[in-house]
Amino acid sequence: MASTVDYTSPSAQFTFDVNKSNLFKKDNQNFINVLGINQLNTLENTSLLDIFLSTSNVVEPHYHQNAAELVYCISGAATVSIMNPYTKEILNFPITPGQVANVPQGWWHYEMATVDHTHLLAIFDAPTPEVILGSDLLKFTPANVMAHTYCLDQRQWEKTIAPIQPSTYIGPSKNCQQSSRPHMPYGQQGYYPSFPYYPYY
């Protein structure tokens, strides 16, 4: 396939500082930088997220409707969890420096740091990594639709999701007050270490 990039143009960009392109920042230890075609105009079918996490912080459940994702661990350690849409199983893949986990396009997934100073690189086969976030699905689907569809008490549903902030990206929130850690069953591949809490299982 022929390239659509005009490499002779004076405006063609061949380098970029990803540190200057923040997508989301929770605090100084938990943030995501982005590189896509909007940052570097000679990119074609590639983009990335540069992800920094401290222990037990989670890149919230989400999926990428336009790209597969390869998660590479630069430093620290994390568990990459994906839901296989064919078997309905949650597969958990612990990764450490030099290891990768592959997330097929459109698969529901999330990443949790298991140590401080975790640095992940998420690489996509699209010029912009589009995303549908779990927090947005929960907040923007009308409560009456959720209650009716799943036979829920609408007021209880609204109370339950009230603390959720749209576009959370990295959870849990700073003011999270969880009194107990939910039961964490072992997954098909790998397992979850014991943390004070696990907000997304």
Give the total number of structural domains in the chain.
1
| Mean pLDDT for all residues in the chain | 89
Instruction: Note the helical H segments in the chain.
Output: 134-140, 143-150, 154-161
In a domain, 121, yes or no: yes
> What CATH number is associated with residue 68?
2.60.120.10
Q: Tell me: pLDDT of 183 over 70.
A: no
Place of tokens 């061949």: 14
Residue 2 has what pLDDT? 66
pTM, two decimal places: 0.86
Domain membership of residue 95 (yes or no) is: yes
pLDDT above 90 (res 192):
no
Position 182 scores a pLDDT of 45
On whether residue 84 sits in a domain, the answer given is: yes
Domain that holds residue 88: 21-130
Residue 5: what pLDDT? 85
- Look at residue 90 and tell me if it is in a domain: yes
173 is a domain residue: no
| 148 half-sphere exposure, CB direction, 13 A CA radius | 5
Burial class (CB in 10 A: 0-12, 13-18, 19+), 82: buried
Q: What is the mean pLDDT of residues 90-105?
A: 98
Residue 4 lies in a domain: no
